[in-house]
Amino acid sequence: MKKKVLTVDDSRTIRNMLLVTLNNAGFETFQAEDGVEGLEVLEGANPDVIVTDINMPRLDGFGFIEGVRRNEKYRAVPILVLTTESDAEKKNRARQAGATGWIVKPFDPAKLIDAIERVTA
């Protein structure tokens, strides 16, 4: 059975890159443009892993991660942050919110797939 990935990013370019990368690696991919839509898509997607940006309109990545973690059903789903941010304070804040890992954009497709495989093993 295909592993399901929910990606949340306000950049159409990044969403397209993620879609191609993940679909080519055999994942079923669900996408959202920001944290609000991400929480809406979450229930129907029932993902094995989530990849989210931090800087987004309406609801940023921190709020999205906290929203996911408040839902008992998704408390254990790995969440990888994919962002241009590399600030230690933001990484720590994301960890405290419930993020599993941190990947800096631009991403290497092979490293992203490897990270997803590691957290879903």
The per-residue pLDDT for range 54-101, each reduced to its tens digit, is: 999 999 999 999 999 999 999 999 999 998 888 899 999 999 999 999
Please give the class, per CATH, of domain 4-120. Answer: alpha beta
The one-letter amino acid code at 81 reads V
- Which residue ranges make up each domain of the chain? 4-120
* Single pTM value for the model: 0.95
Q: How far apart are CA 21 and CA 57, in angstroms?
A: 24
How far from chain centre, in Å, is Cα 53? 7
| Average pLDDT for 28-57 | 96
